[in-house]
Structure 1
Amino acid sequence: MLDIVVRGLLVAGGAITSWFVAHDALNYEIVRMAAAILIFVLMVALATFWRVIWSGIARLFGRQQPKP
C-alpha cells in the first residue's frame, strides 16, 4: 500500500519536474525526488491546517461555522 503512495508521489513529482528539467539530465532523479517530497509536505500541511484554512474561507465568504 505504501509503495502505491510513494509511486504516485514520484509520478506527480516527475510530471512537475519534466516541465523544468530534461529527462536525460543527470540531476533529473534528484529533482524529481525533491518535487515529490515537496508535494508530500504540502499534503501534510494541508491535512494539518485544514480546519484553519476552511474557517478562513468560510469567514471570507461570510459564513460562520458553529464553535464546538
Structure 2
Amino acid sequence: MAGAYDDRDGVIWMDGKLVPWRDANVHILTHAMHYASSVFEGERAYGGKIFLSKRHSERLLKSGEMI
C-alpha cells in the first residue's frame, strides 16, 4: 500500500514550481474543491515520447474553455 498522501518525501509540481510534498496544500474553500471547476489531462510517455500528445493537449485546452 502506498501510504498517506499527505506524509511523503520529495517534491510535487504546484502553481508552476516544485514544492516540498508536505507543503503542497490548497485552501478548503478552493472553488475547484467544491464545484470541480478544474481540468486534468493525463499523458503517458513511451520511450520518451508522449503518446498522442497533440490530441491530449487539444482536449485539455477544449476542456479549459468550457469552464
Which structure carries more helix by proportion? 1
Structure with max Cα Rg: 1
TM above 0.5: no
TM-score, normalised via structure 2 length: 0.29
Which structure carries more strand by proportion? 2
